[in-house]
Amino acid sequence: MADYLTVLPTVLLQEIIFEAIARSVWRNPYVVDDPENTVLTLLSIHGTCKTLLEASDCGHVYRACRVKELLDLVANPPEVAKFVDSFFSTVRSVTCHNYFWATLILLVSVTAHNHVGRVVAEFYHLGVCYERNGNDLPDPKTAVELCNKYGSKKIRLWSGDRDALEAQVNRNIAVTIGVKNEEITSLLDVLGSGADVWYRTNLMPYIGQVVFEYIVVSENAIKAYRFRDGFQGAITNLMGALSWAGQDSIKVTTAVSTSILGATFPPSNGIFKLELKANMAEVLRRIRNSAVEPVLMVNVFPYSYHAKGIIP
């Protein structure tokens, strides 16, 4: 069976499901409700059987069915059923030491595991934004439990909320913590003591227990005139506080909205608003000085555009 195991991870669970669908067609060979989809199904089976049969030195069975033959069936629904009947009868007649069907059964379990693994791996990079201002919100502990339940490994907190931070302890969830706009002024002193106090208050008690990934300095402060020319200094001071504490692997950035753009459509014409261009250039320069890969966060709300019919 070693020869078969080498090909198992390359076959998608979807193809196995299609194969099961085709078998149901085979059991009712003259009932084909949607011939076009049935042919697409057969094309998927075609790839699966090619891998399995060639791996088991039964390539001659695979070569008996050509892709062109499948495509030719679209215009002739009764022939679809006949093909399914003939194809599986041929495959079933191949002994190959009875390994083909044993491999197919094993393949279902192995590819199912791999398929789920891929989905979880893709979802790992997604996260949730947990805001405390609102009604009917889950408490921090429940929010974290929901993250674990659905496999999300990232969460964004808008501020150093003590209850929310306590809920992250020993949870292995990457935390993004925000600096509120009203906190910016306290972080701007030349000596950086305000940034050091912020670090000691919000992060230091949890170092080693909470995985801090980002600090987001303000929420669209670049649009607020009273913060526009100063919050870049808060970014620099926080970077300094983290470096002094040996925690400069934590990224410091800011979050902006698409309202900073003077043009948004088409995307290739995107440009910063003239009055914000110099400030954005300075923000990007500060972020680029990060000890780790620099990141600029952008808040987008595609559902709003979808609801207005701007995007499908």
With respect to residue 100, please indicate whether it lies within any of the assigned structural domains: yes
Same domain, 157 and 73: no
Among 121, 146, 170, the domain-final residue is: 121
With respect to residue 264, please indicate whether it lies within any of the assigned structural domains: yes
Alpha-helical runs (H) found in the chain:
2-5, 13-27, 35-55, 59-63, 67-72, 77-93, 99-124, 140-150, 162-166, 193-202, 225-228, 231-244, 274-288, 302-307
Six token digits for residue 162: 């003590």
With respect to residue 63, please indicate whether it lies within any of the assigned structural domains: yes
pLDDT classification of 224: cutoffs 50, 70, 90: low
Same domain, 61 and 166: no
pLDDT classification of 193: cutoffs 50, 70, 90: confident
Among 121, 150, 168, the domain-final residue is: 121
With respect to residue 312, please indicate whether it lies within any of the assigned structural domains: no
With respect to residue 132, please indicate whether it lies within any of the assigned structural domains: yes
Task: Return mean pLDDT, the chain.
Answer: 67
Six token digits for residue 179: 């600096």
Q: Is 291 helix (H, G, I), strand (E, B) or coil?
A: coil
In CATH, what number is assigned to the domain containing residue 279? 3.20.20.80
Model pTM?
0.59
Same domain, 23 and 170: no
Domain range for 35 is 2-121
State yes or no: pLDDT of 261 exceeds 90. no
Same domain, 243 and 180: yes
Same domain, 9 and 84: yes
With respect to residue 227, please indicate whether it lies within any of the assigned structural domains: yes
**Gap between the terminal Cα atoms of the chain:** 48
Among 104, 121, 138, the domain-final residue is: 121
Same domain, 117 and 132: no
The mean per-residue pLDDT over the stretch 128-140 comes to 81
Six token digits for residue 294: 């620099």
Could you give the number of structural domains in the chain?
A: 2
pLDDT on residue 208: 92
With respect to residue 87, please indicate whether it lies within any of the assigned structural domains: yes
Same domain, 202 and 276: yes
